[in-house]
Amino acid sequence: MERKIGMLITLTRQHISRLLEKMLAEYGIDEFNGPQGRILYVLWGRDSISIQELANGTGLANATLTSMLDRMERKELVRRRPAPGDRRKTLIALTPKARALEHEYQAVSERMNELTCRGLSEEECRRLEAALERVLDNVREAEQRLNRPEK
């Protein structure tokens, strides 16, 4: 049997990204885009974290994350500050402006969740989330194995 899980996930992600951009615009949120929303989402859950922790939480590469954080800092959504006790480490923190956008973003997120689970029972939606979490764990683990230097 031919599997098309990767293609279905890719197509779903593309459609969700476009829908999210439209919903953000409908709610008048123009301070950030969908990918930047992922960064804010992680920070709303746990503020003042390292770039590496943010990369792990968003799935974004450090180089991509750095350029996005530069833009977000210019828009006064995040700020960088040295970690207490370790000046070599930089922490990413939310600004009051970003904190004020959390409620509206949550409304968009809830609407997106309703949309994606439409036609599924609560149990089916829960099982789908669990399966996707396992798929995510599998691909993260595979990526880590591929990124390890060979000995």
pTM summary value: 0.81
Distance CA 143, CA 151 (A): 17
What digits encode the pLDDT tens for the residues 3-37?
A: 899 999 999 999 999 999 999 999 888 888 888 98
List the one residue out of 51, 45, 82, 76 whose CA is nearest residue 64: 51
In sequence order, what DSSP letters do the residues of 66-103 get, joined into one string?
A: HHHHHHHHHTTSEEEEEETTEEEEEEEEE-HHHHHTHH
Q: What angle do CA 19, 128, 142 make, to 5 degrees?
A: 90
Query: Could you tell me if 46 and 91 are in contact, meaning their C-beta atoms sit under 8 angstroms apart?
Result: no
Q: How confident is the model at residue 72 (pLDDT cuts 50, 70, 90)?
A: very high
Residue 150 has pLDDT above 80, yes or no: no
* pLDDT (average), residues 50-57: 91
pLDDT-derived band at 79, boundaries 50, 70, 90: very high
Helices marked H in the chain: 5-26, 34-45, 51-58, 62-74, 96-100, 102-116, 122-147
Other CB atoms within 10 Å distance of the CB of residue 69:
21
* For residue 143, pLDDT beyond 90: no
> For the segment 86-141, what is each residue's pLDDT rounded down to a tens digit?
888 899 999 999 999 999 999 999 999 999 999 999 999 999 999 999 999 999 89
Q: What is the mean pLDDT of residues 54-76?
A: 92
Confidence of residue 151 (pLDDT cuts 50, 70, 90): low
Task: Supply the pLDDT for residue 87.
Answer: 80
C-alpha 121/C-alpha 127 separation (Å) is 10
The residue type found at 65 is L
Under DSSP, the state recorded for 2 is -
